[in-house]
């Protein structure tokens, strides 16, 4: 099963990065391949987490697919878990972690493993998904710079 993981240190707090990733409604504005995202349900849980059921439409050239996921936002532990419910995958697992490094810097961990139901779809979208996942971390970091202000640039003497 194809998978991708990354850890990036970013010049934004863990809480800011959690909020940015948790704001799934904004994904079509900056996430590679994400054409649309619709929230079906948002439910606070007794344990302090929040569960979102969402439909995401991904698009590449003439191929467009929609899948449904359960997103668990665990603010207390700065973790986000995405569980696949239905769509073109036979399996999809996605996890985010946010670890404070300083007051204004954090390490963002991203993991995704996926497998398409269809070999044809896997062939059409597989390589493109791999490329997109490599761009995910940079897309979220760029979005954080837009929302929270860019990182200070080092002067070159």
- Which residues make beta-bridge pairs with 94? 82, 112
In tens, the pLDDT along 12-56 reads 999 999 999 999 999 999 998 899 999 999 999 999 999 999 999
Q: What share of the chain is helix, strand, coil (3-state, %, to 5)?
A: 30, 50, 20
pTM, rounded to two decimals = 0.87
Q: Which two tokens stand for residue 4?
A: 């991708």
H/E run at residue 94: strand 89-102
Rounded to 5 degrees, φ, ψ at 76 are -60, -35
In a domain, 94, yes or no: yes
In a domain, 110, yes or no: yes
Cα 44 vs. chain centroid, distance in angstroms?
A: 20
In tens, the pLDDT along 45-86 reads 999 999 999 999 988 777 788 999 999 999 999 999 999 999
pLDDT above 90 (res 145):
yes
Q: Which of 60, 32, 57 is nearest to 139 (CA)?
A: 32
In tens, the pLDDT along 74-126 reads 999 999 999 999 998 888 899 999 999 998 999 999 998 988 888 877 776 66
In a domain, 105, yes or no: yes
In a domain, 63, yes or no: yes
Q: Domain limits at 104?
A: 3-148
In a domain, 77, yes or no: yes
In a domain, 155, yes or no: no
- Which residues make beta-bridge pairs with 108? 8, 98
Kindly report the average pLDDT of the chain as a whole number.
88
Domains of the chain: total: 1
């Amino acid at each position: 099963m194809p998978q991708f993981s990354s850890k990036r240190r970013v010049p934004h707090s863990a809480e800011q990065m959690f909020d940015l990733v948790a704001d799934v409604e904004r994904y079509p504005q900056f996430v590679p391949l994400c054409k649309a995202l619709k929230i079906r349900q948002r439910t606070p849980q007794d344990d302090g987490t929040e569960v979102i059921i969402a439909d995401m439409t991904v698009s590449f050239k003439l191929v467009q697919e929609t899948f449904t996921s359960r997103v668990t936002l665990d603010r207390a532990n700065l973790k986000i878990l995405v569980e696949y419910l239905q769509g073109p995958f036979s399996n999809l697992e996605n996890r985010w972690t946010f670890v404070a490094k300083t007051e204004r810097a954090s390490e963002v961990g991203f993991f995704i493993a996926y497998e398409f139901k269809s070999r044809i779809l896997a062939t059409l979208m597989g390589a493109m998904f791999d490329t997109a996942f490599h761009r995910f971390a940079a897309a979220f970091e760029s979005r954080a710079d837009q929302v929270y202000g860019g990182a200070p640039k080092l002067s070159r003497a």
